[in-house]
Amino acid sequence: MDEKCISKAVIRRLPRYYRYLGELLEDGVERISSNELSTKMRVTASQIRQDLNNFGGFGQQGYGYNVQYLYTEIGKILGLDRTHNMIIIGAGNLGQALANYVQFEKRGFKVVGIFDVNPVLKGISIRGNEILMMDELPQYLKDNDVQIAALTLPKNNAEETANLLVENGIKAIWNFAHLDLEVPEDVIVENVHLSESLMRLSYNLNCYVTEHKK
Amino acid sequence: MDEKCISKAVIRRLPRYYRYLGELLEDGVERISSNELSTKMRVTASQIRQDLNNFGGFGQQGYGYNVQYLYTEIGKILGLDRTHNMIIIGAGNLGQALANYVQFEKRGFKVVGIFDVNPVLKGISIRGNEILMMDELPQYLKDNDVQIAALTLPKNNAEETANLLVENGIKAIWNFAHLDLEVPEDVIVENVHLSESLMRLSYNLNCYVTEHKK
DNA sequence: TAGATTGTTAATCGATTAACAATC
DNA sequence: TAGATTGTTAATCGATTAACAATC
């Protein structure tokens, strides 16, 4: 298969297409043209067609795109047609929030384990998962098929924990810690740096104020 | 002042520079060249110099950049030299996690109020903030100076809540709900779409598998 | 068939990288 | 002064938009 590397900009937009198509589907819309969709999403129709054609021709000339079909296909591209088992490392507020978030499972991301170093948390149950201690992790990963680990712990422990995860076969890390992880190149890291997001917000807030002071 | 619009790509990178400079500062590093920093951050030295020169010449030929000075200046650009009051709308798991996150306050983002519609939560205290009911919000915003509202609630209430916030003078929304908010153009929206992040992770995971199946 | 809309090529735009003169 | 490194211009690269032939 001649699966060329798709640009990151395109991948970044895919989940958003998926979301809009899901909404159209809920509204019972059967077909949509790139032009209609472009209006809704505030992007160009050209971009939509270019993006989709990275993966193949999902549309039909003179008709547009079948919403259900396109939704399903993008879902497949994003890997939402299969189940991914996920563990959460760090059972603090954020870790627990992720563990409690029901919607992920609907998309095929199933939280199967939660780990922490704090013995106070040991055995506490979150949506059917008892919090386990970190020293149980290596054995757990041998016994269970886990693809994704969400890292929701302070940055000082993050690097060594990431190494431990990689050593035990984890292939994808959803990183919420405030640092850039150093991992082998076959391990995927997706960063969610909340504080950086908040700083961008702050930048724009000041920017606006500055501009109007002129 | 001739504050031109800086490209989003540059803004996106600023908080990361800030983070690295903060670490250098902690390590007692006094000066750094764009070349050294580029090695650490795995970007080009050219990009660093271009990015910084959008805001002015912070360096010195033959010397490089003074870490403390550059750190402070980027902080100012990002608006971290002032305090921003923030409220959280939605006291679910994620809202509580944000409210409990101590680091934000260090950067000048102070959680001053938490709101929810669920009467069960009324009066529960989170780091000194009692959860208030949504009907108290308009009066609260009249009595308090709040710039930022974090939206951590289900998407079906998000749009109308955003409208309410905007009507009551909120100028920046940190949106965690899974939808694109429609707000007046002077209102800043910074999105954190966790499920989209997870989908990108999933895409890359499958991608890798696919490529090696060849 | 005629009209609509895609898939795709070509043109444009913007962002990144390279190069180097300015200067500390 | 000589060496180092910035600030900045020019060259390259990639991504977005426009245009249109293909085709349903």
Find out whether A57 is annotated in a ligand binding site: no
Q: Are residues A63 and A88 in the same domain?
A: no
Give me the pLDDT at residue A3, please: 47
Q: Rounded to 10 degrees, what is the CA torsion of A134, A135, A137, A142?
A: 180
Domain with residue A166: its CATH number is 3.40.50.720
* Other C-beta atoms lying within 10 Å of the C-beta of residue B115: 23
Which tens digit of pLDDT belongs to each residue from B72-89?
Answer: 999 999 999 999 999 999
Task: Please give the helix or strand (H or E) that residue A175 lies within, else none.
Answer: strand A172-175
Which tens digit of pLDDT belongs to each residue from B146-178?
Answer: 999 999 999 999 999 999 999 999 999 999 999
Q: Are residues A23 and A94 in the same domain?
A: no
Q: Is A138 exposed, middle or buried (0-12, 13-18, 19+ CB in 10 A)?
A: middle
Tokens found for residue B46: 């050219």
Q: Which residue has the tokens 């054995």?
A: A139
Q: Are residues A94 and A179 in the same domain?
A: yes
Find out whether A94 is annotated in a ligand binding site: yes
B208 CB contact with strand C at below 7 Å = no
Q: Are residues A106 and A170 in the same domain?
A: yes
Residues of chain A scoring pLDDT < 70:
1-4, 208-214
Q: Are residues A72 and A108 in the same domain?
A: no
Which tens digit of pLDDT belongs to each residue from B5-26?
Answer: 899 999 999 999 999 999 999 9
Q: Are residues B139 and B192 in the same domain?
A: yes
State the total domains in chain A.
Answer: 2
CA of A59: nucleotide with nearest C1': C6
Residues at the strand D interface (Cβ < 7 Å) = A 7-10, 43-44, 46-47, 49-50, 60-63; B 32-35, 45-46, 49-50, 52-53, 57-65
What is the Cα–Cα distance from B137 to A137, expressed in whole angstroms?
A: 44
B47 CB contact with strand C at below 7 Å = yes
Best probe of the B interface among A101, A187, A198, by most B CBs < 10 A, is A198
> Strands B31-32, B64-66: parallel, antiparallel or unpaired by DSSP?
antiparallel
Could you tell me which of A204, A99, A157, A176 has the C-alpha nearest to residue B101? Answer: A176
Q: Are residues A94 and A171 in the same domain?
A: yes
Domain with residue A68: its CATH number is 1.10.10.10
Contact B190 A196 (CB under 8 A): no
Q: Are residues A66 and A92 in the same domain?
A: no
Q: Are residues A148 and A177 in the same domain?
A: yes
Closest CA of chain B from A194, distance in Å: 8
Among B55, B77, B99, which residue terminates a domain? B77
The percentage of residues in chain B with a pLDDT greater than 70, rounded to a whole number, is 95
- Please give the backbone phi and psi of residue B209, each rounded to the nearest 5 degrees, phi first: -55, -50
C-beta of residue B173 within 8 angstroms of C-beta of residue B190: yes
- Which domain range does residue A169 map to? 84-183
* Domain assignment of residue B3, yes or no: no
* Domain assignment of residue B213, yes or no: no
Which tens digit of pLDDT belongs to each residue from A146-164?
Answer: 999 999 999 999 999 999 9
